[in-house]
DNA sequence: TTAAATTGAGATAATTTTATCTTAATTAAA
DNA sequence: TTTAATTAAGATAAAATTATCTCAATTTAA
């Protein structure tokens, strides 16, 4: 569904969001440990997310990553996926073709459209606040 | 969604099915040309499909690939995907986690379940006959 | 029987993705 | 001001995926 980089990115952002929601900034080391991801690779992904203004970074002692609390409800899962994998997941043809589409739909075209719309809706309606609250309430677990 | 190998595989099988449906065996060269795929790589993918008894191959002059006509309605898109990519596409967690699942579902869990069930249904209910007929009737196009 | 046309299989190469390493820049505390 | 703790950035490496090449095996036709 998503690339590994994107999965790490989603998990990292959820972890950062859950902590930002409670006023804590978290370090790369803590993030990688909690989401069970390779530290250096995770750093690269976080850099992408910083450049896309999805998360903020602070260097130096007591530095780390955080998300402004007022942004927790406006940042969507779709923003993370788009920043890392692009938005072709739910735009491309399911069979990898290019030109047929609506004009000459194959037998599975509309089923694929439905599936991709479902995915788009999921990504575009789920904000970080929702996910952060879930983690804060102890109901979901990011690691393993 | 699927790997490139899997996309080529699906397109190749549909092309073979459409021709087998009309009693024609097709060569690797013809397949690669019609589905617009790299010939040698396509050969590797076809080998996998032969080993999985999804298609038959015949060597030598006038050889090529074919599917027994009576199998066209029993072979499903799911069989191709499973042979090439495995069945984790609709089994894995959408966020790449491992153990949470039903016991402690995150806010998007059931939406992912729905999406993956839709994909499974699509793959497990679409047989080659359906796709072949569509191609034979000129309604869908495999190349570009 | 020989030659030509095919697929099969294994080795190799190219590309992309994933991952790591090294050094620089920044920040805060000692 | 110096040092330690952090992220940033670029180079490099490892692994996976995609793609190609070479030769063997098979089949049919000449
Ligand atoms: S008609 Fe079928 S092959 Fe064409 S874009 Fe739609 S799903 Fe893909
Ligand atoms: S609860 Fe969420 S993270 Fe866990 S398996 Fe389900 S979708 Fe994945």
Q: pLDDT tens digits, residue range A127-139?
A: 999 988 877 777 6
The CATH architecture one would assign to domain A4-137 is Orthogonal Bundle (1.10)
- Core vs surface per residue A99-123: b (16+ CB within 10 A) or e: ebeeeeebbbbebbbebbebbeebb
Three-state secondary structure of A11-61: HHHHHHHHHHCCCCCECHHHHHHHHCCCHHHHHHHHHHHHHCCCCEEECCC
Encode pLDDT of B118-127 as tens digits. 999 999 999 9
Q: How far is the CA of B13 from the centre of ligand 2 (A)?
A: 33
Mean pLDDT for chain A overall: 89
Encode pLDDT of B71-102 as tens digits. 999 999 999 999 999 988 877 887 777 656 66
Instruction: Give the integer Cα–Cα distance in Å for B65 and A28.
Output: 53
Assess whether the C-beta atom of B30 lies below 6 angstroms from ligand 2.
Answer: no
Q: How far is the CA of B31 from the C1' of D28 (A)?
A: 21
Decide if B8 contacts B41 (C-beta within 8 A). yes
Of all residues in chain B, what percent carry a pLDDT higher than 70?
A: 90
Residue B99's pLDDT is what? Answer: 54
Q: Give the Cβ contact number of residue A25 at 10 Å.
A: 17
Decide if B57 contacts B63 (C-beta within 8 A). yes
- Residues of chain A with Cβ-Cβ distance to B121 below 8 Å are 111
Give the C-alpha distances (Å, rounded to integers) separating B129 from B1, B17, B81: 23, 7, 17
CA A61 to centroid of chain Cα atoms:
27
Residue A19's pLDDT is what? Answer: 95
Residue of A111, A107, A80, A122 lying closest to B118 (CA atoms): A111
Q: Nearest Cβ partner of B122 from A115, A134, A142?
A: A115
Q: How far is the CA of B93 from the centre of ligand 2 (A)?
A: 6
Residue B9: pLDDT over 90: yes
Q: How far is the CA of B62 from the C1' of C2 (A)?
A: 18
Q: How far is the CA of A100 from the C1' of D25 (A)?
A: 40
Contact B111 A97 (CB under 8 A): no
Contact A2 B96 (CB under 8 A): yes
Residue B135's pLDDT is what? Answer: 74
A16's CB contacts (< 8 A; 6+ apart) are A26, A31, A55, A65, A66, A67
Instruction: Give the integer Cα–Cα distance in Å for B81 and B69.
Output: 20
Of all residues in chain B, what percent carry a pLDDT higher than 90?
A: 69
Closest nucleotide to B58 by C1' from CA: C7
Indicate the DSSP class of residue B124: H
Indicate the DSSP class of residue B120: H
Encode pLDDT of B54-75 as tens digits. 999 999 999 999 999 999 999 9
Protein residue with least CA distance to atom 8, ligand 2:
B93
**Is B102 at the interface with chain A, CB within 8 A?**
no
How many contacts, defined by CB atoms under 8 Å, are there between A and B?
100
Residue A140: pLDDT over 90: no
- The residue lying closest to nucleotide C29, measuring its CA against C1', is A61
Encode pLDDT of A92-112 as tens digits. 887 777 656 666 777 788 888
Residue of B nearest to A108 (CA): B122
Contact B131 A94 (CB under 8 A): no
Instruction: Give the integer Cα–Cα distance in Å for B62 and B66.
Output: 12
In this prediction, residue A66 has a pLDDT band, given cuts at 50, 70 and 90, of very high
End-to-end, the C-alpha distance of chain A in Å comes to 18
Q: What predicted TM-score, i.e. pTM, was given to this entire model?
A: 0.92
Residue of B nearest to A96 (CA): B7
């Amino acid at each position: 569904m998503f690339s590994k980089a994107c999965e790490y990115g989603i998990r990292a952002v959820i972890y950062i969001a859950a902590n930002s929601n409670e006023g804590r900034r978290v370090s790369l080391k803590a993030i990688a440990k909690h989401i069970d991801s390779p530290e250096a690779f995770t750093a690269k992904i976080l850099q992408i997310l910083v450049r896309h203004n999805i998360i903020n970074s602070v260097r130096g002692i007591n530095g780390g990553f955080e998300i402004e609390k007022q942004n927790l409800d406006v940042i969507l899962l779709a923003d993370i996926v788009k920043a890392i994998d692009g938005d072709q997941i739910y735009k491309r043809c399911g069979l990898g073709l290019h030109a047929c589409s609506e004009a000459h739909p194959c037998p599975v075209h509309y089923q694929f459209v439905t599936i991709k719309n479902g995915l788009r809706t999921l990504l575009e309606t789920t904000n970080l606040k929702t996910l952060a609250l879930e983690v804060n309430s102890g109901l979901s677990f990011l690691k393993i």
